[in-house]
Amino acid sequence: MNVDNGSESAKLDNSSMQMDSDDSSDQVKDNEKEKEELTETMNKMHIEGSSSGNGFPNVRRKPVIIIVVGMAGSGKTTLMHRLVAHTHIKNIRGYVMNLDPAVMTLPYASNIDIRDTVKYKEVMKQFNLGPNGGILTSMNLFATKFNEVISMIERRADQLDYVLVDTPGQIEIFTWSASGAIITEAFASTFPTVVAYVVDTPRSEDPTTFMSNMLYACSILYKTRLPLILTFNKVDVAAHQFALEWMEDFEAFQTAASSDQSYTSTLTQSLSLVLDEFYNNLKSVGVSAVSGAGMEAFFKVVEASADEYMNTYKADLDKRREEKQRLEEERRRGDMDKLRRDLEKSGGETVVLNTGLKDKEKSKSKSMMDEEDEIEEDEVTDDDDDDLGIYTEDDDAIDEDEDEEVDKFGL
């Protein structure tokens, strides 16, 4: 338990004392204990519980984590293979990680492979999921154990220069999922971390495709807030010179885009003005995973980005983490207040988790005495939820909604 977690539990203790003085039942204490235990477990799972020991781990300079992301088919896996080969030749000490649970065969040998922990096909079968759901769930399962991965890398940190991370084929599964965010944050709060955004250069020769690719890169930059390296891959097929030109001179891009008079083209031209600032803060490099061109340049840019991380991103990260902790504490306090209010409302009665129709009627007639209007609304929401299987998070929802939620999650 770190210092910050300690202060959190102290705050929880405080609220429990208040509740005792409010004459609450033993069940409240049990609830609190459960809550504390849950908080503790969550904190342990959280990156701050990593073996660095303190709340804000000292970020080492090495190893540098390189998270390789990009559209499906942009050449991430092939590039990983090339990077691994380069590190071997140059005696660079690297660690390789595969986070794609659905990949059939890997062209490189990985040190950590998600497939050793989670069997993607089994997950699909067991949870009755399609391919994307299967990948997402496998990632979620893996993310719950990610503190162990971080500890493993920490133990080897002195012998490593880089950790190369391959991500699932479908970019959004990593960049827009909770598990992707957990994994990225776990890395970024322990080691200097950079994102290599792989671009399929030949396909980006079309201005509209180029623009959508850049917008995606921009969204990743905003989402991860980590140094981003635009890695123009497949330069053996098409040189990335045109891209550099378009990024430096938006007029050149507008001229290229103006050959097409469609709506998207006009929008693309306007967007190029907006993205000018974004381009200014980016580093880019041209590589070929097939021919091996640009490898030296790639690692140079990675080093520069790692410096940038230490100088700029680290401070921002610490600030955001403090803010996150503050919000988390506020939320917890809000939860405790809500629990207390609910208890006062129920008059300390035992809360039945498994609400049948009979219980519903009973609790409805009871609450009806307090808030008649609310109930009509809730009845509608309740029915809708049953049909669609959606859980509401409406603050006004009456207790039975919450009971059902708990019931459905099988707690």
What does the binding site for ligand GDP look like in residue numbers (CB under 6 A)? 70, 72-78, 169, 233-234, 236-237, 288-290
Nearer to Mg ion, 19 or 102 (CB): 102
- Per CB under 5 A, which of residues 59..78 are in contact with Mg ion? 76-77
CB 149 within 8 A of CB 95: no
Task: Give the one entry of Mg ion, ligand GDP, none that residue 78 binds, where binding means its C-beta sits below a cut-off of 5 to 8 angstroms depending on kind.
Answer: ligand GDP
Q: Tell me the torsion sign for CA atoms 384, 390, 393, 399.
A: positive
Nearer to Mg ion, 233 or 269 (CB): 233
Two tokens at 330? 């506020």
**Least distance CB 96 / ligand GDP (angstroms):** 14
**Least distance CB 284 / ligand GDP (angstroms):** 16
Upstream peptide bond of 63 is cis (omega within 30 degrees of 0): yes
**Least distance CB 264 / ligand GDP (angstroms):** 25
What is the amino acid identity at position 246? Answer: W
User: Cβ of 289: how many Cβ atoms within 10 Å?
Assistant: 26
**Least distance CB 236 / ligand GDP (angstroms):** 5
**Least distance CB 169 / Mg ion (angstroms):** 5
Residues making up the chain, counted from first to last: 411
* C-alpha torsion angle, residues 351, 353, 355, 361 (rounded to 10): 20
Separation between Cα atoms, residue 337 and residue 327, nearest integer Å:
15
Nearer to Mg ion, 47 or 69 (CB): 69
Task: Give the one entry of Mg ion, ligand GDP, none that residue 236 binds, where binding means its C-beta sits below a cut-off of 5 to 8 angstroms depending on kind.
Answer: ligand GDP
Task: Give the one entry of Mg ion, ligand GDP, none that residue 70 binds, where binding means its C-beta sits below a cut-off of 5 to 8 angstroms depending on kind.
Answer: ligand GDP
Nearer to Mg ion, 117 or 170 (CB): 170
Separation between Cα atoms, residue 278 and residue 39, nearest integer Å:
39
- Per CB under 5 A, which of residues 132..171 are in contact with Mg ion? 169
Task: Residue 58: name the closest of 241, 244, 258, 310 by CA.
Answer: 310
Task: Give the one entry of Mg ion, ligand GDP, none that residue 238 binds, where binding means its C-beta sits below a cut-off of 5 to 8 angstroms depending on kind.
Answer: none
User: Cβ of 365: how many Cβ atoms within 10 Å?
Assistant: 10
Two tokens at 199? 């671009």
**Least distance CB 202 / ligand GDP (angstroms):** 8
Nearer to ligand GDP, 63 or 70 (CB): 70
Q: Which residue number is nearest to Mg ion in terms of Cβ?
A: 77
- Per CB under 5 A, which of residues 77..96 are in contact with Mg ion? 77
Q: Which residue number is nearest to ligand GDP in terms of Cβ?
A: 75
- Cβ-proximal residues to 303 (8 Å cutoff; 6+ apart), any chain: 64
Nearer to Mg ion, 55 or 169 (CB): 169
DSSP assignment string, 131-142: HHHHHHHHHHHH
Task: Give the one entry of ligand GDP, Mg ion, none that residue 42 binds, where binding means its C-beta sits below a cut-off of 5 to 8 angstroms depending on kind.
Answer: none
Nearer to ligand GDP, 57 or 180 (CB): 180
CB 329 within 8 A of CB 11: yes
Two tokens at 178? 């909770």
CB 272 within 8 A of CB 207: no
Question: By the criterion CB under 5 A, which residues form the site for Mg ion?
Answer: 76-77, 169
